[in-house]
Chains A and B, each alone.
Chain A
Amino acid sequence: MRPTLPAMITHRPLSGKARLDDAGARGFARLAPPIPLFALQPLLGHIVTTIAGRHPELIARLGDNCRKRFLIDPHNLPFFLLLQPDPDRPRLKAYGRARDIEHDVHISGTFLTLLRMIDGQSDSDALFFNRDLTITGDTEAVVALRNALDNMDVTLADDVAACFGPLSRPVRAVIDLTFKFASPKP
């Protein structure tokens, strides 16, 4: 056996390097004008409240893990998202990369990889095997989240688009375009 080390969960230092390394994400970034984070927060709050309200089965599958803090790190965008899918107080907030943010799980990949995963288009195990997706922290919580998301017939990307009200169709179209112009992934 290899050397035995004490079990520990580390919160790895977060890289602030923006890497616009795929065409789809670049396209999306071009379409989306720079928005100050404070202007983003009400929309994010609306998105997470809507999703938690619409999908009680998602929260049920998470069990106690719904109280965990998931740090989502699209490493070609200039901010992190912190998700806490607690049904009593669902939270989704954007943070600048300079901040050190307390979390239980850290999920990182390109914006497009993460979007494909929540849209149910990619197999997250294959993304992990291919090292497109990195996970550190509470593995049980992230496995529960992955399985809960995978049980949704309607994808979260649809729900996110729906939160834009009359703009929902153009937003969904932008998401679809992003997929179309990006290279195929498993």
Chain B
Amino acid sequence: MTQLFKPELVCPAGTPAGLRTAVDAGADAVYCGFQGPTNARNFPGLNFTVAEMAGAVSYAHDHGAKVLAAINSFPTAGRTELWKEAIDEAVSIGVDAVIVADIGMTQYLSKAHPGQRIHLSVQAGASSPEAINFYCRRFDIKRVVLPRILTVAEIKQVHDEIGCEIEAFVFGNIGMMAEGRCALTNYVTGQSTNMDGVCSPASHVHYEEDEDRNLKTRLGEFAIDCIACGEHAGYPTICKGRYNVSHKQEYYAFEEPVSLNLTRLLPDLMRAGVTALKIEGRQRSRAYVKAVVSAFRQAVDAYSEGGEPDISNLLALTEGSRETQGAFRSKTWR
């Protein structure tokens, strides 16, 4: 196998200790967010204070890694100050890039902090060359994180027609809704994935296990799954629930509990011109971050040197112990 361009490995961190773990395991860059609704992983006990983010930047830079601040949820009218403050704080701390989704915040960032590197979040849902080039021209974005709806061939086509780098997800949670567009949680709980930064807020999730170890999962007032004893569980999201629909009982009507795993497609993504490979999971533990980042570090290094890595050890960490290549391989992955 011939040598390939080595892409940047972009890894998740939900806490300062998680960031140090990711850096130590071989991340080239780590993405993380402030506490509160300004990013898309607003979970209890997760994320960084301003002081913690500053410490994280120092640690990462001392170890040759970058920090990307995710400020990628959508502010509603009357709340934009919070997002602007988060952007100002991130820039003053010296993060290497700010990841934004809202077009108004992208405008604010580019005007208030010219020269700050901007990455366009997956939440912006920009998937066509025209849309991405608009952001490049108007806001000078340097990188787009592509929605998980394109095949590798389409990514190559986008790459050939845009004026910025591409970051693509390669591992972790996957939903079937186009990012930034899903309103399922909002419909059931009144809280929005896109505006409050949380899908299936923990305050609305309830688990009940009976004597026979059958586990019922509820989100708000809705039962979204009943997992029999011995069956694997998944995230308590509506898109991974089972429902009684007209033609089927207990049917995964949207998506099955699976995780994205593109290790086998890494060489194709590298050839398609992807600059950065992204691992999902800021809500996951340090044990997960360590295992996944180490495995991908080895895989990327091996592929870029023309080798064949052993990539068999990640299945235990996947949701439902099952993996998919999602739309990257085929539009009809179900």
What is the size category of the interface that chain A forms with chain B? 35 or more
Among candidates A126, A151, A153, residue contacting B316 with C-beta atoms closer than 8 Å: A126
Count, A-B residue pairs, CB within 8 A: 140
Separation of A134 and B223 alpha carbons in the complex (Å):
17
Within 8 A of B (CB), among A1-42: 1-10, 12-13, 15
Among candidates B17, B202, B287, residue contacting A152 with C-beta atoms closer than 8 Å: B17
Take A123-B284, A129-B319 as given contacts and tell me if A147 and B44 are in contact as well, using a CB distance cutoff of 8 Å: yes
> What distance in Å separates the Cβ of A120 from its nearest Cβ neighbour in chain B?
6
B233 touches A129 (CB 8 A): yes
B209 touches A150 (CB 8 A): no
Among candidates A5, A15, A124, residue contacting B223 with C-beta atoms closer than 8 Å: A5
Residues of B close to A150: CB separation below 8 A? 14-15, 17-18, 285-286
A3 touches B223 (CB 8 A): yes
B203 touches A140 (CB 8 A): yes
Separation of A47 and B118 alpha carbons in the complex (Å):
47
Separation of A7 and B204 alpha carbons in the complex (Å):
9
Q: Does A46 contact B (CB under 8 A)?
A: no
Separation of A58 and B102 alpha carbons in the complex (Å):
33
> What distance in Å separates the Cβ of B79 from its nearest Cβ neighbour in chain A?
21
Residues of A close to B232: CB separation below 8 A? 129-131
Within 8 A of A (CB), among B263-319: 283-288, 291, 316-319
Separation of A148 and B17 alpha carbons in the complex (Å):
10
A153 touches B317 (CB 8 A): no
> What distance in Å separates the Cβ of A180 from its nearest Cβ neighbour in chain B?
17
Take A1-B243, A3-B223, A139-B206 as given contacts and tell me if A134 and B317 are in contact as well, using a CB distance cutoff of 8 Å: no
Residues of B close to A147: CB separation below 8 A? 14-15, 43-46
Q: Which one of A59-67, A76-84, A93-101, A163-171 is at the interface?
A: A59-67
Separation of A153 and B290 alpha carbons in the complex (Å):
13
> What distance in Å separates the Cβ of A43 from its nearest Cβ neighbour in chain B?
27
A139 touches B202 (CB 8 A): yes
Q: Does A114 contact B (CB under 8 A)?
A: no
Interface centre among A6, A124, A145, A146 (most CB of B within 10 A): A146
What is the size category of the interface that chain B forms with chain A? 35 or more
Q: Does A52 contact B (CB under 8 A)?
A: no
Residues of B close to A153: CB separation below 8 A? 17, 20
Separation of A130 and B211 alpha carbons in the complex (Å):
18
Residues of A close to B243: CB separation below 8 A? 1-2
Main secondary structure of the interface of B (DSSP, over half): mixed
Among candidates B43, B204, B285, residue contacting A120 with C-beta atoms closer than 8 Å: B285
Q: Does B210 contact A (CB under 8 A)?
A: yes
A2 touches B222 (CB 8 A): yes
B222 touches A131 (CB 8 A): no
Residues of B close to A10: CB separation below 8 A? 208
B287 touches A1 (CB 8 A): no
Contact with A along B41-56 (1 / 0, CB 8 A): 0011110000000000
Separation of A128 and B285 alpha carbons in the complex (Å):
12
Residues of B close to A128: CB separation below 8 A? 233
Q: Does B320 contact A (CB under 8 A)?
A: yes
Residues of A close to B229: CB separation below 8 A? 131
A7 touches B221 (CB 8 A): yes
Q: Does B125 contact A (CB under 8 A)?
A: no
B234 touches A129 (CB 8 A): yes
Separation of A127 and B113 alpha carbons in the complex (Å):
43
Separation of A174 and B20 alpha carbons in the complex (Å):
28
Separation of A5 and B225 alpha carbons in the complex (Å):
12
Residues of B close to A134: CB separation below 8 A? 207, 209, 213, 215
A139 touches B207 (CB 8 A): yes
A136 touches B44 (CB 8 A): no
A123 touches B288 (CB 8 A): yes
Contact with A along B219-238 (1 / 0, CB 8 A): 01111101101111110000
B17 touches A122 (CB 8 A): no
Q: Does B327 contact A (CB under 8 A)?
A: no
Q: Does A56 contact B (CB under 8 A)?
A: no
> What distance in Å separates the Cβ of A1 from its nearest Cβ neighbour in chain B?
5
A to B CB contacts below 8 Å, 9 in the list: A1-B243, A2-B224, A3-B223, A61-B15, A121-B287, A129-B233, A134-B209, A147-B46, A150-B285
Which B residues fall within an 8 A CB radius of A? 14-18, 20, 43-46, 201-211, 213, 215, 218, 220-224, 226-227, 229-234, 241-244, 250, 257, 283-288, 291, 316-321
